[in-house]
Each structure stands twice: as structure tokens, then as C-alpha cells.
Structure 1
Amino acid sequence: MRHVLRQHRALRDDIADLTTRRPLPNPALPQLDPFLFLNHHGPQVYPPHNRGLPFGPHPHRGFETVSFILKGEMAHRDSGGHESVIGEGGIQWMTAGSGLVHAEISPASFKQTGGPLEILQLWVNLPARLKFTAPAYTGLQREDIPAIAVPGGTVNLISGTFGGDEGPFHSLTGVAMMTVTLDAGAQLTLPAPRGRTVFLYVVAGNPSVAGTPVREAHLIELDQGGDSVDIAASEPVTLLYGHADPIGEPTVAHGPFVMNTREEIMDAIRDYEAGKFGAIPA
């Protein structure tokens, strides 16, 4: 069994009127290779006639973004021509790769009527051999995500495998990702293959992990001592859980670009300014 090394509190960093907490990166943990960044937006309730999400057109290169719409909805548009509105329980998986421009905003209906909103966005690094792969995007609704019943809860399998099931997203680097909901009194053992980095974020509730009480809105850093993780819930719990092979390469991040060298960052800035990432169609 794996055990808890440290807990990292999500630090408050609001964006306009969007409540935002960020557990990664943090002062004690710059990354959890290959996981780079997590923003936890909400939970909050937007009033009618709101301005919606503040993420207008912006570029990315060198990594992937995975967005989990826990409550509300989010619209996506990008310079590759992809467009969708994903509702509660859905997932957006975008490979920035060689570079694209995208916008993550609220649809007009949400801005008109308001409502609850809670979204997680995770950045997953790509190795040097894939940083210039062609950009791609897939958006799936709740009904497209396998909801696997476990004693006292549900595993929503996004990518990778769990038991005999396979998630609908096929990661370029074999990332396994799922959200887990547990009722009070439930216990669950999650797979954590040896040599892989585990990503465990407590979205809601205060469970125990390998016998250690952990707290809501904390990233749980685990040791490498086993191939599974025990979770026990004394109250309703929601987790973001995944595992992936570490990349083990130098990482240089600058705003929306994540590359291997400073020179590649400068190239990304020049390429974006020269219009090589394209533009979102009007």
C-alpha cells in the first residue's frame, strides 16, 4: 500500500469574480511529474445576467489540459475549429501540442440565467517527443463517461482502465484519470501501479488515505511504497484521482507554454505573436 507523504493545501487565487483555489504548483511542490497544474474553480453560484467564465482566447503549447465540469457548463472554441458546450459531469480533453488558441467561456444561456458552477482543470505535461504533436480536442458529456458502481460509491472512468473497464479518452502518454464519489462509511482501494506518479486531490469531504486523515481542498502526495491506495470515507467524499508514468525531463514553464528549454519558450512566444497558432473563427 502507498502512504501519505504530505498534504498540500489549495491556495486561494481568484480570477475576476471566479472563486479559484490552486493546490499545484505550490511553494513546496513545483510539479508532480507529469502533472503540472490544477485549478479548482468554485463551487459558487453565479447570479442571473453574469459575465461568465473569464477565459477568453489565449494560447497553449507543449502539454494537455483536462477540464472536469462538476457543476454548471462550459463552452469551448479553438483555432483548430473545435467547438462544444459541455455540461455537468462532462469532460474536455485538449492536446495543445505544437500550439493553438482556445477560449473557455460560459454559454449565453448560463450568463443569462446563472446557476451553480464548479470546474477542475488539470495540466498534464508532454515529453519532448510529443510537444509538437498536432493539436486535438475531445469533449464528452456525462452520459459518455462510464460510471462504475463500487461499494458505497461511483468511479467515473475518464481514461485508462479500472477493473475490466476502459475510459473513453485515450491519452498520448497512458494517463489514467477518474473522479470518485463515496458515501459516508464507504471504503475503496484504488490502483497505483508501481513506478507511476499518483495524483490525488480531495475535491470535497475529509477522508482517510492509507489510514491518514486528509482534508478537503488538499493535494495528497503519496510515497512509492506500493501498488494501491486505500480510501475510507466517514462522510460524503469527492476525489480527483489518476496515475501516470513520470517523464523525467527538464521543464521550463512560462505562462501558457510548457517546454524543455528557455529557448523553446522564446520560440513559442515568437510563433504565437507571428500568428502561427491560428485564430478562433469569428
Structure 2
Amino acid sequence: MPAVTADTLTLPRINRPGEGSTQRPVISLTTGPRGYEGEGFPVVRAFAGVPQKLLDPFVHMDQMGEVEYEPGEPLGTDWHPHRGFETVTYIIDGLFQHQDSHGGGGLITNGATQWMTAGAGILHIETPPAELVESGGTFHGIQLWVNLPASDKFISPKYQNLEGGQSELLSSDDGGALVRIIAGDIDGHTGPGATHTPIVFAHATVSPGAELSVPWRADFNSLVYVLSGRGTIGAEKRPIQQGQLAVLGAGDAITVAADSGQDSHRPAMEILLLGGQPIREPVFQHGPFVMNTRQQVVEAMEDFQAGRLGVVPPNALRPHRVKR
């Protein structure tokens, strides 16, 4: 897994929660179904079956891949609109290109993140570059949707390019886990992503037999998603494995432990730590629009059809096709 790596023995340590802390219990454990997105790339629908109020302020998350493409197979999405939220695309392994109608764009690669605030409306495309389509190869990433409060749903679009090396790299207290903070704060250590809605988004690699225990803001919700491997979650040590999402209850600490035995092709447990301050507003989502009411979604569709969400630029990126 080529996402940014480091020697955990030389990194700043996350303080283990104190004796007076309360470990968050598991209140739900779900397995994401597999599906297809865009022009046909495989995904795991990580939040499927989980009530929106437990996810708030998050709306949607796909684990894209992990897939080993043959030459000519890599697929992405063509130009499409968004309004009312932020898209976060984190590439763990492989290459992805982004371009939007507001001037944002670039190549996203191992450990990098593109953070797009759709706000009032934007058009964008995400697709594998021509060289990956031609050669094939490994592709693995995450797309996360972060809701915006009603007061921010019509702000101007914004784009952030966060290279893998910008992530805040930390070690667990005993060096058994590597934590990459992409956005938000854990134990006083802050990631580079600037967010409208207060959240934490981090990727951790937990070595076989190791335990990761971190302090967590009591006013945030808490989600743990397993990208690969298996272990246990919470004070009750509930078994959890690849493709599963744990929603945790109240408390100010999170503990995840990796089993001593992991799959040979994936030597460690890989997890996402997610949490945020709930917005507690109505959510009406339809396709690429996340608003507060049905009427607002109807208006977003009308604005898109009238060209008011943006215009595809003259130098527009397009999905690459291998000529047969």
C-alpha cells in the first residue's frame, strides 16, 4: 500500500488516553455492499444501511477498488455537477486526474488528496490519466462527501490539493501504528485540510498484534472503517474486518487492535478514522446534490440544466479510451 509511509520510531507520538477517559462503545457494525460508480469502476458503499443521523456531518463514502486493472480497463467519471457539500478524494495507490469548472485540478497520486468544496455549484471530472489506462495497474482510493450547513451551501467553490507529504504523520504511543492526519486534529496534531465543517479524517496502519488508542473529541461523532485486514474495535473488542464500518457511541477515546495474523498480501490492518461535529439539519440528497429540502434539489437540477452550475472549460479533460 504505497500511501505515505514512515519509520514510526522517529515520529511524534499520540498520547494514550488517560485512566479517566471513556472508551467509545460500538453501536453499529455494517458491511458495505459492492457496486459500481461512474463509468464502471468497482466500489464498496461504506455507509450503506447506516442512518444519516449517525453519519452526520458525513453523507456518503465509497472505497474505490482496490483493483488491479489490465491495460485498457481503468475507468473514472465524466463531467458531472455537485452542489451543497464537499468531495474528498484520497488516493492510496494509483493515479487519478481531477479538473473542475472553477479552475481547480491536478494529478492525485499515492497518499494525496483533492478536496473540492462544491458550495453553490460546480462541474468536475475525475478519471485515470492516459498512462494508467494504457498500462493498467493498481488503483485504490476513497471518496468521502462532507455535508455543509445551510449557511454555507451557497458559498463560492474552492479546491485544495493536498500532497501526501503534507499529511501530519504520527505514531501510536508504542510505535505499533502509523497515523496520517489529512484533516482535523488528534491529540493536538493537525492535518493540512481546511474544512468548513469541523471534522477529523485520518488513515492509520496498525501492525499485526498492535493496538491504536487515541483521544477523541467528545462532541464529535466517531466512525472507523476497515480498508483491509482484521482486528477488534471498541472497549468490548468487537471483531471487525475489511469492508466494515463501526459507528461508535459516546466517549472521548477510540481503541482499535489488529489481529496477530493478517493476510499475506496485506501485512497490516488499514483503517480510516472519521469524526465530526454533527450539523443536525435536514438532509435531502438526490444524485450529486446534497441540500436541505426537496425544492432546493429541484432548483439545483434546473440550474444545472440551464448552465448555471458552471461550464466545461475549452481544454476539458476527457476519459481516455484505448483504441482497439
Same fold (TM over 0.5): yes
Question: Is residue 222 from structure 1 mapped to residue 271 from structure 2 by the alignment?
Answer: no
Aligned to 1:245: 277
1:208 aligned to 2:241? no
TM-score (norm 1): 0.95
Matched, 1:42 2:65: yes
Corresponding position: 1:172 with 2:196? yes
Q: Which residue of 1 aligns with 2:182?
A: 158
Instruction: Work out whether 1:255 is the aligned partner of 2:287.
Output: yes
- Take 1:30 and 1:8, find their aligned partners in 2: how far apart are those partners? 14
How far off is 1:17 after superposition? 4.2
Q: Which residue, 300, 319, 323 being the options, matches 1:268?
A: 300
The amino acid that maps onto 2:245 is: L
**Amino acid in the other structure paired with 2:309:** F
Amino acid at match of 1:229: I
Which of 2, 9, 20 does residue 43 from structure 2 map onto? 20
Q: Which moved more, 1:16-25 or 1:261-270?
A: 16-25
- Supply the AA of the counterpart residue of 1:40: Q
Post-superposition offset of 1:280: 2.6
Provide the residue aligned with 1:281 in structure 2.
313
Q: Does the 8 Å contact 2:162/2:193 carry over to 1?
A: no
In the alignment, the residues of structure 2 paired with residue 132 and residue 125 of structure 1 have an alpha-carbon distance, to the nearest angstrom, of: 12
Residue pair 1:59, 1:99 contacting (<8 A) in 2 also = yes
Q: Secondary structure at the match of 1:40?
A: strand
2-structure distance, mates of 1:64, 1:133: 11
SS of the residue aligned with 2:111? coil
Answering whether residue 167 of structure 2 is matched by residue 145 of structure 1, we say yes
Summarize deviations over 1:17-58 as a string: whole Å, max 9, x none: 4221102132x53451111111111111111233x3331100
CA contact (8 A) 1:70 1:88 kept: yes
Instruction: Confirm whether residue 183 of structure 1 aligns to residue 210 of structure 2.
Output: no
2:292 aligned partner, one-letter code: N
The one-character-per-residue Cα deviations of 1:121-142 (angstroms, maximum 9, x if unpaired) are 1111111001011111112221
Report the AA paired with residue 145 of structure 1: S
Partner of 2:220: 196
Aligned length: 279
Report the equivalent of 2:6.
none
Residue of structure 2 aligned with 1:6, choices 1, 7, 28:
28
Q: 1:67 aligns with which of 89, 104, 113?
A: 89
Is the CA contact (8 Å cut-off) linking 2:290 and 2:297 kept in structure 1? yes
Q: TM-score of the superposition, structure 2-length normalised?
A: 0.83
More deviation, 73-82/16-25:
16-25
- Matching of residue 114 in structure 1 with residue 136 in structure 2: yes
User: For the residues of structure 1 that align with 2:223 and 2:311, how far apart are their CA atoms?
Assistant: 33
* Aligned CA-pair RMSD: 1.4
1:96 paired with 2:118, answer yes
Structure 1: 5+ residue runs without aligned partners?
none
Q: Which has the larger radius of gyration?
A: 2
Provide the secondary structure at the position in 2 that maps to 1:24. coil
CA distance in 2, matches of 1:53, 1:141: 23
Task: Give 1:214 shift.
Answer: 1.3
Greater percentage in strand: 1
Tell me if the contact between 2:57 and 2:197 (Cα under 8 Å) persists in the aligned partners.
no
How far has the Cα of 1:281 moved from its partner? 1.1
Distance 1:148 1:280 in 2: 40
Q: % of aligned pairs identical?
A: 35
Aligned equivalents of 1:144 and 1:48: distance in 2?
31
The superposition leaves residues 53-100 of structure 1 with CA deviations (integer Å, 9 ceiling, x where unpaired) of 331100000011111101101100000011200111111111111000
